[in-house]
Amino acid sequence: MLKPLITREILDHMLSLRFIVGLILCSVVTVTCVVILTHDYQQELKDYNQRIARQDDFLNNYAHTNRLNGMNRAQKPPETFRPLIIGVQEDADLGSFDDNPLPVLFPPLDLVFIVTIILSLMAILFSYDAICGEREKGTLKLMLSNNISKAYILLGKWIGGTVGLLIPFLISLLMGTIYITLHPTIQWGGSAWATLILLFMASMTFISVFYLLGLLISTYSRISSVSILTNLFIWVLLILAIPNLSPYISAQFFKIPSVNRIEKEAARILGIDRDDLGRRLSAEVRKQYERDYGELFSEYQQMNQEAIQDRLSGDESFKVMYNCYGEEIRNAWQEANRIQGEKANALRRELNMKAGIQTWVAKHIACLSPYANYVYLATDLTGTGLRGMSYFRKSVGEFSRTFRPYLERKEQEAREADPTYNSNSFIDLRDRPRFSFREESISDTLTAVLPYWGALLFFNVLFFTIAFVGFLKYDVR
């Protein structure tokens, strides 16, 4: 009994004008989106390789210790799914070498936009008259007169309608992935294809939510015009209002200080205040050496670099004093860096804690909408979202913990080889460890997105249940 109902529903949709229009719209927009984003991915990959080359050239030929913090920055390659999903762009302000300003005014589309806007609207257009439209045509009364269960009718409409939506989405997605596969720059492995399958399943879960929403409203409406207006109102509420209002609602309850003010204060602490403290600590060391070494230290202060080098080779006591003084001056500045760094970090930790609470609240308010759950699911699953950004930062931190001992060892070797070595001296880093970013494993990302996927499944169950209750009481006359 269920199969004929599903078949009828699929055929009704496929033979309708809205199906043809939806298929053409989906295909054109998806292929256009993939072509544009693939070009962007190719340019970003080129920019990434150029940044790596420039960085390697500098570190191989011009590396000074005091410049490493800026020039040894870990570089993130463009994400594997960048040809499909734009996601969060942490370094968007850097731009590319041939940056085009128009996308700032007219942002390019991506798969998330296609699913959340185009396909969710298509789902509503497919289902808004599923029940009330059948009542208006008189076919609903005819079906019930043949002793067909209301549960079978509702289930058949849901399955048939969702499959009818799956067809244009699957065709357009296949066209896009064929283009990606044939592109010479993009090399997708097995994990990428597995992620694509999961992304397709998650997208269908989201689309099913809005089909059931239309079905639900249809079971509580007598005429199709009322149903479509109610559906569009709820669509605006779920897609536009709740996700966009959530940060403002959260900000009213959990206020945080200005980020610019905190950063200016931190910059002052790490700049002017650190230099003042470093000079004071260095002056104390200098006074101590003036007392301990007297005339020998006074002579040292009057010498130029060439005279110091000559004296080091023939005077052991001068060499001991010179090495000890240099070490204590370095320790003084390191202590100034530590003290002021702790103060700046305390400010930033407090800001991050408050911002984290505010973000957490805003995120969970947004999750009252299926839209937000799908966006988090799709971007985190493909490594283009906030989780991917956090994972990159974690990888950078792990690399820094590896690179720091290496740099300390190289500095120690340089001092042993040249007693006059300082932070402005060249240091050979050609054998340094290189940062190589690897995207998070599919099992870890899938575990992380299960709550969002579970929320979408909950919306499916909730909307179907409410629709079923309404249909049981529905007057077919």
| AA letter at 288 | Q
Assign 98 a pLDDT band (cuts: 50, 70, 90): very low
- CA 277 – CA 282 distance, rounded (Å): 8
Contact yes or no for 467/212 (Cβ under 8 A): yes
**Is 113 in the same domain as 227?**
yes
Is the pLDDT confidence value at 70 over 80?
no
Mean pLDDT (whole number) for 54-75: 73
Residue 363 exposed, middle or buried by CB count within 10 Å (0-12, 13-18, 19+): middle
**Is 167 in the same domain as 24?**
yes
How much is the pLDDT for 93?
41
**Is 200 in the same domain as 84?**
yes
Domain boundary among 378, 408, 430: 378
**Is 160 in the same domain as 188?**
yes
Q: What is the pTM of this model?
A: 0.79
Domain extent, residue 20, equals 2-248+446-472
Domain boundary among 378, 402, 433: 378
- 414 or 331, higher pLDDT: 331
**Is 137 in the same domain as 271?**
no
Contact yes or no for 234/220 (Cβ under 8 A): no
Tell me, yes or no, whether 58 lies in a domain.
Answer: yes
Assign 97 a pLDDT band (cuts: 50, 70, 90): very low
Locus of tokens 């929403």: 213
Tell me, yes or no, whether 422 lies in a domain.
Answer: no
Residue 46 exposed, middle or buried by CB count within 10 Å (0-12, 13-18, 19+): middle
Residue 190, C-beta contacts closer than 8 angstroms, at least 6 positions apart? none
How many other CB atoms are there within 10 angstroms of residue 110's CB atom? 23
Per the structure, the count of domains in the chain is: 2
- φ and ψ at residue 440, rounded to 5 degrees: -60, 150
Assign 69 a pLDDT band (cuts: 50, 70, 90): low
How much is the pLDDT for 237?
94
**Is 212 in the same domain as 315?**
no
Assign 92 a pLDDT band (cuts: 50, 70, 90): very low
> Of 467, 473, 371, 466, which is closest to residue 130 (Cα–Cα)?
467
What b/e string do you get for 306-319 counting C-beta neighbours within 10 Å, with b at 16 or more? eeeeebeeeeeebe
136-174 per-position pLDDT tens digit: 888 888 888 888 888 898 999 999 999 999 999 999 999
Tell me, yes or no, whether 229 lies in a domain.
Answer: yes
**Is 268 in the same domain as 238?**
no
**Is 346 in the same domain as 217?**
no
Tell me, yes or no, whether 466 lies in a domain.
Answer: yes
How much is the pLDDT for 425?
75
Question: If DSSP codes are grouped into helix, strand and coil, which group holds residue 426?
Answer: strand
**Is 275 in the same domain as 175?**
no
**Is 199 in the same domain as 263?**
no
Domain boundary among 378, 399, 432: 378
How much is the pLDDT for 255?
78
Assign 423 a pLDDT band (cuts: 50, 70, 90): low
How much is the pLDDT for 108?
65
180-215 per-position pLDDT tens digit: 999 988 889 889 999 999 999 999 999 999 999 999
Tell me, yes or no, whether 416 lies in a domain.
Answer: no
435-471 per-position pLDDT tens digit: 888 888 999 999 999 999 999 999 999 999 999 999 8
**Is 78 in the same domain as 216?**
yes
Is the pLDDT confidence value at 103 over 60?
no
Tell me, yes or no, whether 297 lies in a domain.
Answer: yes
**Is 88 in the same domain as 201?**
yes
How much is the pLDDT for 85?
92
Tell me, yes or no, whether 423 lies in a domain.
Answer: no
- Chain-centroid distance, C-alpha 353: 19
